[in-house]
Chain A
Amino acid sequence: MDAWVRFSAQSQARERLCRAAQYACSLLGHALQRHGASPELQKQIRQLESHLSLGRKLLRLGNSADALESAKRAVHLSDVVLRFCITVSHLNRALYFACDNVLWAGKSGLAPRVDQEKWAQRSFRYYLFSLIMNLSRDAYEIRLLMEQESSASSRRMKASSGGGVPGGTEPGVSGAPGGGLPQLALKLRLRVLLLARVLRGHPPLLLDVVRNACDLFIPLDKLGLWRCGPGVVGLCGLVSSILSILTLVCPWLRLKP
């Protein structure tokens, strides 16, 4: 009980719960439609989903300030690539929240002349840019960690075998052109194994990658770039919401710059 009180005292936690519920409704609605459930039940689920969506927009009023503050903090990072990726991501997020606030004003009747479709497209575009920046940052971090890991393991190999045999991750360059394809496949396999080891050793990074990858499907579908259907969108949204709730419950799982 105490854990719920502490968790729900954060406004972001409540918003994430609503998001999880919204995408669960979307997934459930799609499943019910596929299995031919009663139209009344489908209508109820759709109504709940729209209530959740509008409620979340109200809960998110003021998040632009939070995103701008995060962008301001990110400007002081030492690494140039991280500084660029994180700052631009937060700025795009701030713009996404600003468009979302305009959409709320339109939906709640404060500004009835707002073109819902135009502003929705705009908001999803900023959201997509923010996710692309997040994924670029993740890719950069993975690359850094993979380089670190491979140089560490080659040092270990050299130290253990006395420097005779070449390192395990970098196969010998002595392969003839004729044996290029199997060698390429081996290289690729080793790279994938290294990636898996790096991600297994850094759970916050793994969580962030999966979360951003799942989130990516939502704007891609809504902008019409890659129509995956409401089922996939619902599932991805639900998975990413659950993962972000996990980072709120366990703060050590959050990726720190």
Chain B
Amino acid sequence: MDAFIRFTNQTQGRDRLFRATQYTCMLLRYLLEANADKEKVVMKLKKLESSVSTGRKWFRLGNVIHAVQSTEQSIHVTDPVPRLCLTLANLNRVVYYICDTILWVRSVGLASGINKEKWQMWANRHYYYFLLLSLARDLYEIALQMGRVSRNKAKRKTSSSQSPRGYSVVDEDTEWLQSFLLLLFQSLKQHPPLLLDTVKNCCDILIPLNQMGVYRSNPGVIGLGGLLSSVAGIITVAYPQMKLKTR
């Protein structure tokens, strides 16, 4: 219970738990909707989802400053490609939070003259750019990691002086794909924070893609994606060593 309390004392921890709840409700609603006699349960899930989603806005208020600070930190990253990707990603995150705050102002009724659809579209777009740039950074890090792993493997091969296996030209393509996938799997296995971050961004990107109409998927897929990314987020909050660090 002590660990649970330490986890929930952090705003991000609580927010990730509520996010997981929100997307679980979405997933369950999709799975139970087909069932006619589960109408009441589906209604309750919808109410829980909407109240948690509304309540989570309170966790996001003031995150503009967090994003500005992250932007400042990412300017000092040593590697140029992650520096560019992260700085642009965080700038998009700042704009996203500004749009989100304006939408919040409208939702509590403080300013009724705000065009909700326009600001929602802007928020979705900038969230999408943020995720795209984060994924670009992840792919770059994966490529680096794969290069490192393959160089280590080559070093071990030359030192153990294995005789190369003979293979035909026909098998070369599938052999290449297999070895590429194996290398990818090994690189990610050796670098769990990178795996978690990639999974989180891949799952998250489905949400703005769906809302912008670029790639419409059903609520079940969105719910599952949201749940997976929330669980990945919970792991990074509970175990800070699993957070992808910038050099």
Contacts and interface: CB of A to CB of B under 8 A. Distances in A.
A38 interface: no
Interface string A104-123: 00001110000000000000
Contacts of B28: none
A8 B109 CA distance: 24
A33 to B, nearest CB: 18
Contact of B55 (A59, A109, A110): A59
A18 B55 CA distance: 12
Contacts of A185: none
A65 interface: yes
Which secondary structure dominates where chain B touches chain A?
helix
A110 B8 contact: no
B11 A10 contact: yes
Interface of B: 1-2, 4-5, 8-14, 18, 44, 47-48, 51-52, 54-55, 57-59, 61-62, 65-66, 68-69, 107-110
Interface string A1-25: 1101100111111100010000000
Interface stretch (A47-55, A143-151, A192-200, A229-237): A47-55
A9 B10 contact: yes
Contact of A11 (B14, B52, B57, B61): B14
B108 A65 contact: no
Contact of A51 (B4, B13, B68, B108): B108
A40 to B, nearest CB: 10
A11 B237 CA distance: 13
Q: Nearest 3 CB-CB pairs, A to B?
A: A58-B55, A108-B51, A109-B47
A44 B109 contact: yes
Which secondary structure dominates where chain A touches chain B?
helix
Interface residues of A, number: 29
Contacts of B68: 1
A47 B112 CA distance: 13
A62 B11 contact: no
B44 A109 contact: yes
Nearest to B107: A51
B109 A58 contact: no
B48 A65 contact: no
Contact of B44 (A44, A54, A65, A110): A110
14 contacts: A1-B69, A4-B62, A5-B66, A11-B14, A44-B109, A54-B54, A54-B55, A59-B59, A65-B5, A66-B5, A66-B9, A108-B48, A110-B44, A110-B48
Contact of A9 (B2, B11, B58): B11
A69 interface: yes
A143 B40 CA distance: 58
A10 B107 CA distance: 25
Contact of A59 (B1, B4, B14, B47): B14
A62 B47 contact: no
A10 B13 CA distance: 10
Contacts of A108: 47-48, 51
Contact of B10 (A5, A10, A55): A10
Given A47-B109, A59-B58, A69-B2, A14 B44 contact: no
Nearest to A68: B1
Given A4-B62, A4-B65, A9-B11, A58 B5 contact: no
A59 B55 CA distance: 8
Contacts of B11: 8-11, 13-14
Given A1-B65, A4-B65, A69-B5, A58 B10 contact: no
Contacts of A4: 62, 65
Nearest to B48: A110
B10 A62 contact: no
Contact of B18 (A1, A12, A58, A110): A58
A54 B55 CA distance: 8
Interface in A62-87: 62, 65-66, 68-69
Nearest to A70: B5
A220 B108 CA distance: 29
B243 to A, nearest CB: 14
A58 B110 contact: no
A10 to B, nearest CB: 6
Interface in A27-53: 44, 47-48, 51
Given A14-B11, A14-B62, A62-B14, 8 more contacts: A8-B66, A11-B13, A14-B59, A47-B108, A48-B108, A59-B55, A108-B47, A110-B44
A253 B44 CA distance: 44
B8 A14 contact: no
